[in-house]
Amino acid sequence: MLSDGAGPDAGRAILYSRVSTTRQARDGYSLAQQLEALRGFAARAGHGVLAEVVDAAQSGASLHRPGLDRVRDLVAAGGVAAVLVQDVDRLARDPEHHRLLHHEFEARGCRLEVLNGLPGAAGEFLAAHETARMAERSLREKLRKAREGKILAGPSPSYGFRFNAARDGYEVDEGRMEVVRLVFRLVGSENRSLHAVTRVLRADGVPSPSGNERWLPSAIRRLVLDDVYRPHTLEEIAELVAPEVASRLDRGACYGVWWFNRERWTSRQVSEVTAGGRVYRRSVSALPRPKKDWVAVPVPDSGVPRETVDAAREAVLGNRWNPRGDARFWELSGGILRCGACGRRMRTCVTRKKPDRVYFYYACAKRREGRDACQNRRSYRADALEPAVRRAVACLLADPGRVREGFEARIRLERPRARGASDGETGVWLGRLAEVDRMRGAYQAMAARGLMTLDELGTRLDGLEASRATALRELEAATGRLEGAEDLERDRDALLEAHAGAPPGSLESLPPEGRRAVYRALRLAVRVGADGTLTVGGVSGEVTVGFDAWNPRTRTQIKGRSVRDGSG
């Protein structure tokens, strides 16, 4: 939210406030308190207020926030004397982000002023240190519980189990575990395919773990490969857990294994420039941890024979992608075509009614989660949908002036971000990486001379590694912003030279791979609504076509009905 003053002035300041949660943003108390304190701070310092910028329900772990982007744009425009924040962690939590913002603001003659807390690097370090300590304490407590043989309860237990009363262990849920045993029997003993298993479960009316009527083959695969269902002897378990955990187990029983700390999940906010302006989304990734860091927790035996589990795993791991459906090039796949009802990607489907009759379709990927998962229940024939998109793209390319104007508008949105990267952001991160390497060597030299204990050295090196990771991540993002603007200019010139103003049928002469390249250059986004309405949009505009207008089967049916009606 922004409240702009009359105009930029050398003595004016930007007031920036932020809260992390939706509840705080909804209630408004923290935001109102921050702004009230900052207004008083500005008045005492003699600043006029150029703008009040609010980031509601935005994490301080990322630099990509609507409000902070606005602050950076205003500072880059010039005439801003200071950016005022109440606490150092309201602006950012990572010291490396603070370094970048300090450098960016100072280059424009702007100061960063903090109402509370220690100024400069000390305040930044303490804010980041407290965040790191909280994360470290949380992980340490979770590891302790897991090493004691306790489950860390999530939203739901592994399928076939339920939590015990203390929610730190599993008990067998016999009703669901019978389904697990059926799955292993079908895959391991009867050699059924994953798709065949999903059909059996659906025919039996068995809901999926998430409650949908359809099971996904990927869910069956994960179930088969999960160690929680594979029986292990006490001797095998004893090699994985602490002696005190093994001593509590029954010598004559078998146990499954629930693993903790197998992956490291990260979630961060990123921004992208689209035809509608700058948009923000969450980027979630999971990185596997070294196997030595995994923690095993024994759980009750699933009751599936070990030979059946191993046979099912061998069958699943031996699966290979069937190349027959991949023989054609799907020119709208890869995120170009999406469902207009739910926004998910449209998946590709192949149907063989006879050996010599093969049909290719696009359908919403969410439909596999259940009949009611998405309103868009149709399957759209590729031989009708792809030509319709080609005709729409030909319309978008028909006017070279509109193509050029569309690209110029997108480039204008992208250039401020690219300019920030080229003006010094990449240099800041490269310099920080070099500094981290120098500091690492200095710390190691101090430890070798006895001026620092090994524990102190480990703490300092951990901090440097965190700084290095942040610098590498932000350097990659800055480089991507530079390349984004350059790619737009290059694609604009290529499209204007080869395709803009070309005859309507010119795309038909290209191979599917060539058409895909045109679509990518045009930043094409295609959506099919639940009613079949086709929306084709790119840099140069948008075209909407009704289902009856582009689907040849529908046109034929409508024409046939009109003839019959006319004949009385």
Kindly list the domain boundaries of the chain, sorted by start residue.
Answer: 2-130, 161-317, 323-397+515-552, 400-500
- Going by DSSP bridges, is the β-strand pair 82-85/111-114 parallel, antiparallel, or unpaired? parallel
Residues 6 or more apart whose CB falls under 8 angstroms from that of 551 comprise 380, 384, 388, 532
pTM here is 0.60
- Model pLDDT, residue 424: 67
C-beta neighbour count of 531 within 10 angstroms: 13
Report the distance separating Cα 336 and Cα 519, nearest Å: 8
Report the distance separating Cα 347 and Cα 528, nearest Å: 12
Report the distance separating Cα 527 and Cα 506, nearest Å: 23
- Model pLDDT, residue 320: 57
Q: What is the DSSP letter of 344?
A: P
- Model pLDDT, residue 466: 78
Contact between 490 and 520 (Cβ < 8 Å): no
C-beta neighbour count of 358 within 10 angstroms: 14
DSSP 5-56: -SS--TTEEEEEEE-SSHHHHHH-HHHHHHHHHHHHHHHHHT-EEEEEEEE-
Locus of tokens 């002023």 = 113
| Cα within 13 Å of Cα(505), Cβ side | 1
In the chain, what is the straight-line distance between the N-terminal and C-terminal CA atoms, in Å? 63
Tokens of 542: 């948008």
Tokens of 73: 């744009």
Dump pLDDT digits (tens) for 358-406. 889 999 988 777 667 789 988 999 999 999 999 999 999 988 899 898 8
- Model pLDDT, residue 297: 97
Judged on CB neighbours under 10 Å (0-12, 13-18, 19+), 239 is exposed
Locus of tokens 């575990």 = 177
- Model pLDDT, residue 337: 95
- Model pLDDT, residue 84: 94
Report the distance separating Cα 248 and Cα 236, nearest Å: 15
Contact between 55 and 65 (Cβ < 8 Å): yes
Judged on CB neighbours under 10 Å (0-12, 13-18, 19+), 88 is buried
- Model pLDDT, residue 174: 96
Report the distance separating Cα 466 and Cα 106, nearest Å: 25
For CA atoms 251, 255, 260, 263, the dihedral sign is positive
- Model pLDDT, residue 328: 83
Q: Where are the beta strands (DSSP E) in 58-127?
A: 82-85, 111-114
Residues 6 or more apart whose CB falls under 8 angstroms from that of 108 comprise 75, 76, 78, 80
Report the distance separating Cα 307 and Cα 313, nearest Å: 10
Contact between 424 and 107 (Cβ < 8 Å): yes
Q: Which of 492, 495, 494, 491 is nearest to 394 (CA)?
A: 495
Contact between 502 and 494 (Cβ < 8 Å): no
Contact between 82 and 119 (Cβ < 8 Å): no
Contact between 8 and 78 (Cβ < 8 Å): yes
Report the distance separating Cα 365 and Cα 59, nearest Å: 30
Residues 6 or more apart whose CB falls under 8 angstroms from that of 215 comprise 197, 198, 201, 202, 206, 208
Report the distance separating Cα 160 and Cα 172, nearest Å: 6
Locus of tokens 């090196």 = 461
Phi-psi region of 523 (alpha: psi -120 to 50; beta: other; left: phi over 0): left
Report the distance separating Cα 193 and Cα 512, nearest Å: 32
* pLDDT mean by block of 10 residues, the chain; 568 residues: 42 91 70 90 91 90 87 89 90 82 88 74 50 68 92 93 95 96 96 92 92 88 96 96 94 95 80 69 82 94 96 86 62 92 90 80 83 85 93 91 87 65 69 85 87 84 81 78 78 85 83 92 92 91 90 50 30
At 146, is the secondary structure helix, strand, or coil?
Answer: helix
Q: Thinking of the domain 2-130, which architecture would CATH place it in?
A: 3-Layer(aba) Sandwich (3.40)
Residues in a beta bridge with 379: 363
Locus of tokens 């024979």 = 305
